[in-house]
Amino acid sequence: MNRLYYYIIIVMCLIMQPVSGAMAGIAERNSFLTEMLSLAEKPGTYFIIDLSEGKLTLMARGIVIREWAVDKLRFMGEPLPVKTFLLESKSVQLESLRNHIDINGPEVKEVSAGGNGSDKKADDKKSSSKDDGIKKTRKFELIALELDDMPAEYELFLNGGATISVRSQAEESDTFFKKTASLLKWYLHYPLITLSSYYNKTTFTKIDMSFKDRTEAQALFWAFTEGTECIVLPPGAGNKDDFKL
């Protein structure tokens, strides 16, 4: 009789496992659709970061504006829940990229129009002692930031402790010591932080993405402004069809 109960329990577990998995998929699907609807109702832009497919999608009002295909993607730490995150800050600020205005440029004299030649000679004599009708201004040129001014290597800090490192493979021509330090950081330092965060019940998530084209990383920096909201779909989070619109 005890053996019969044992078999019944095993069969029930086997039956309930796919049911519970399906319910989890439905819950994630509902959460994803709820968050997407909430973002689509807002006037600003937002990102969908799909780590399973290595793709970033910029959207507004439910319409796709631009997509980025990541050429190299790595993930470390705790998977993020399917909810809306906020870009709190970047490792590089726009203020540090702005060109300084030259307020000490050469002076330009603007003489008021009108008057004959004799009047001009008289005015020239008076200008040695007093500037009469002459304006002195500083000439400067204000240069706006362009895409080429954006960095190709930076970090994006989301609320909740997640960090996204972005760089272009053109920037990866590092020295041997820098490459070694990067490998030690990824395969030794970050795993230790992951274990520490697990035991201390804190959150640590590190996403590392690289683009072959330098302009792709620069365009992402330009579009992903501080305050932009996003949804991060972690690798292997349920069925991919659950997160398709």
Per residue in 186-206, pLDDT tens?
788 888 888 888 788 788 899
pLDDT tops 80 at residue 166? yes
pLDDT tens per residue across span 91-133: 988 777 765 444 454 444 444 444 455 454 445 544 444 454 4
> Which token pair is 128?
């040695």
- The H helix count followed by the E strand count for the chain is 5, 11
pLDDT tops 50 at residue 67? yes
* Long-range contact pairs involving 122-129 (C-beta distance under 8 Å, separation at least 24): none
- Token pair 């990102």 is found at 47
19 CB-contact burial (10 Å; exposed 0-12 / middle 13-18 / buried 19+): exposed
pLDDT of residue 43: 92
Contacts of 205 (CB under 8 A, 6+ apart): 75, 76, 77, 78, 79, 80, 160, 161, 162, 163
3 state SS of 154 = strand
Q: What is the pTM of this model?
A: 0.68
> Which token pair is 87?
């870009």
162 CB-contact burial (10 Å; exposed 0-12 / middle 13-18 / buried 19+): buried
Q: Where are the domains of the chain?
A: 2-96+144-243, 107-138
Exposure class string for 52-85: b at 16+ Cβ within 10 A, else e: eeeebbbbeeeeeeeebebeeeeebbbebebeeb
List, in sequence order, every residue forming a beta bridge with 77; answer none if it has no partner: 205
CATH classification code of 2-96+144-243 = 2.40.440.10
